[in-house]
Structure 1
Amino acid sequence: MAKIVDRLLLFIYSISIGVLSAAAILLLTGVLSEDDLVPDWDAAVPFLIAAAAVLLLLSLRFFYISLRRDRTSSLSVDQRTEYGDIQISMETIENLSLKAAGRVKGIRDLKSRIRVSQAGLEIMIRGVVDGEHSLPLLTGEVQRQVHEFVQETTGIPVADVSVYIANLTQAPSFKSRVE
C-alpha cells in the first residue's frame, strides 16, 4: 500500500515540477509576462506558499526513500526454532533446486527462480532437454526431485515446482566416412 501511495505522490510531484518548469521557461523567454501567468499576485501568495511547502515535503519524502534500505524485499527465508532463528538465503535455495534438477538425466542448462508465498516456496525451473526422453516423465521427475530435495534439506514446505522447457538441444550429427 505504501508503494502505491509513493508512486501516486511521485506522479503528482512530477506533474507539478513539469508545470513549474514550463512556466519558468515561458517567463524567462518572454512568451508570457508575470501578469499573464498570475493576474493578482496578492491573492496568489498564500496558494504559492502552500504549493511550495507541499513540494518541499514531497522532496524530503523522496529523499528519505532514496536513502533508506528496503526491508520489505526478503533475500532470505527466516525460520524460528526452539533453539533460535535460521536464515536461508534465496541463493542457497536456488542452488539446491538446481542441484536436484541436475540429477535428472536428459535436462541441462538449468536456471531457477524462487518466490515465497503463504503456502511455502514456489520454485520455477527452466531448462533445455535432449529430446530423447518423454517430456511428461522428464518434467515430472524434475518436479519430484526438486520438491523432495529442497523440502528435506531446508525444512521449508515447497508449495509448487513449475518446469519450463525452453528448448530442445540438437545432437551433433556425425557422418561416418568409409574409405
Structure 2
Amino acid sequence: MPEEAYTLVRVVDKLLLFLYSIAIGAASIGLFCVGVRWIPEDTVVDSIRNLYGDEQWVQITATTVGVVLFLISLRLFYVSVKRSNGSTPSIDQRNEFGDVRISMETVENLALKAASRHRGLKDLRARIRVTDAGLDIVIRTVVEGDTSIPALTEEIQRSVKGHVEEITGIPVAGVSVFVANVVQAPAFKSRVE
C-alpha cells in the first residue's frame, strides 16, 4: 500500500476511534445519571416512549446512530484483530529468491550516514518518499561556517544517491537538500601559559 494511502487509512481509523469514544462516553454518562437517579424516571420513560411513538424522526435518528456505531465497532474490531504485515512502512522488493522488505527508517539512516560524511553539517534529518520513479529523499541540515552551499549540497546529493542505491538496490529519483540555516562554527582560542 502506498505511504499516502496508508496514512489516510490511519487518520480515518483514528477519527472513527475518536467518534466511537465520544459516543460511548456520552452513553456511559447517561447510564450513570440514570443509575444514580439524577435523571428523573419520567424523562427516561418519555424518551423511550418517543422511540416507539409516532415521532418518526426520533426512530430514524436512533436507527441511524445505532447502525453507524455498529459499523464503527466492526471496523475497530477488524483493525484490532487483523494481522499486520509490519507496523512500520517499508519498501517491498521481489527477487528470484523471494521477498525483501527494507524499512523506511533503514533508508533514512543510510541517507543520513552518507550526508554526515561531509564536514560542516549539523542537525541532519532525512525524509523518504516512494514514487513511481524511485525514492525521493529530502535532507534537512544546518550548515556551519562559510562553506559554499551549492558545492556542498551537490556533494551531499551525489553521495546520498550513490550510497542509498548501492546499499539497497532501489533507484533514487532525486535528492533534495534543504539548508535551514547557516551558523558560525565555534572559534577555539588556544591559550598558552
Tell me the TM-score normalised to structure 1 length: 0.71
For residues 77 and 50 of structure 1, the distance between their equivalents in structure 2, rounded to whole angstroms, comes to: 41
Greater alpha carbon shift after TM alignment, 31-40 vs 153-162: 31-40
Query: What does residue range 47-126 of structure 1 map to in structure 2 within 5 Å?
Result: 47=59, 52=66, 55-71=69-85, 75-126=89-140
Which secondary structure state, in structure 2, belongs to the residue aligned with residue 29 of structure 1?
coil
- The residue number in structure 2 matching 1:30 is 39
Instruction: Mark the CA change 1:88 to 1:7 in structure 2 (over 3 Å): closer, same or farther.
Output: closer
State how far apart, in whole Å, the 2-side matches of 1:173 and 1:12 are: 56
Q: Which moved more, 1:35-44 or 1:165-174?
A: 35-44
CA contact (8 A) 1:97 1:112 kept: yes
Paired-residue identity, %: 51
Runs of at least 5 residues in structure 2 that lack an aligned partner in the other structure: none
Structure 1: distance between partners of 2:189 and 2:82? 63
2:157 to 128, 137, 143: 143
Distance across 1 between alignment mates of 2:91 and 2:50: 60
Alignment partner of 2:180 out of 166, 169, 176: 166
The structure-2 alpha-carbon separation of the partners of 1:163 and 1:98, relative to structure 1 and needing over 3 Å to count, comes to same
Contact 2:128–2:138 (8 Å) recurs in 1: yes
Deviation per residue, 1:134-172 (Å, 9 max, x gap): 112211211121112212332211112121223334323
Q: Is the 8 A contact 2:145 2:185 kept in 1?
A: no
Q: CA deviation at 1:78?
A: 1.9
Deviation at 1:97, TM superposition (A): 1.3
Q: 1:51 to 1:43 in 2, by over 3 A?
A: farther
State how many pairs are aligned: 177
TM superposition shift of 1:127: 2.1
CA pair 64-142 structure 1, distance change in 2 beyond 3 A = same
* C-alpha separation in 2, matches of 1:42 and 1:108: 69
Note closer, same or farther for the CA distance 1:132–1:160 as it changes in structure 2 (3 Å cut): same
Counterparts of 2:112 and 2:14 in 1: how far apart (Å)? 36
